[in-house]
Amino acid sequence: MTRGEVEALALALPATTKVVQWGGSDVFKVGGKVFAISGDDSVSFKVTEIGFVALTETGVGRQAPYCAKGQWIAVDIATVPDTDLQSWIATAHSLIAAKLTRKLRAELGL
């Protein structure tokens, strides 16, 4: 998967916005909260505690720089199957959207 394909995948999720920040990274947000960050070679995203342990212990992913305390994973986009990356990004979106207020979720149609 390419950086452009990651962008298309993330932007296809409901109420997603994109900003470029932190040195040129594509930052994807739902309700103003970050759920994925894409660079040239890798993508970082929010995971569950179990997902964090599973992905780091198997070597598929690593702790995302500056975000590891919040169960964020970084993976090299060239080395993971597209279907897995699609699923992980969709899950990250869902995890962050679930933490939004009920009012904001309603406003965003979530």
Q: Residue 66: its pLDDT value, please?
A: 81
Domain annotation covers residue 110: no
Q: Residue 40: its pLDDT value, please?
A: 84
pTM > 0.85: yes
Q: Which two three-digit tokens encode residue 11? A: 């932007």
Task: For residue range 56-95, list pLDDT tens digits in order.
Answer: 999 899 999 887 677 999 999 999 999 999 999 999 999 9
Domain count, the chain: 1
Task: For residue range 12-53, list pLDDT tens digits in order.
Answer: 999 999 999 988 899 999 999 999 999 889 999 999 999 999
Q: Read off the CATH number of the domain in which 11 is found.
A: 3.90.1150.30
Domain annotation covers residue 109: no
Boundaries of domain holding 98: 3-104
Q: Where are the alpha helices (DSSP H) in 1-110?
A: 3-11, 49-57, 82-98, 102-108
Domain annotation covers residue 29: yes
Domain annotation covers residue 48: yes
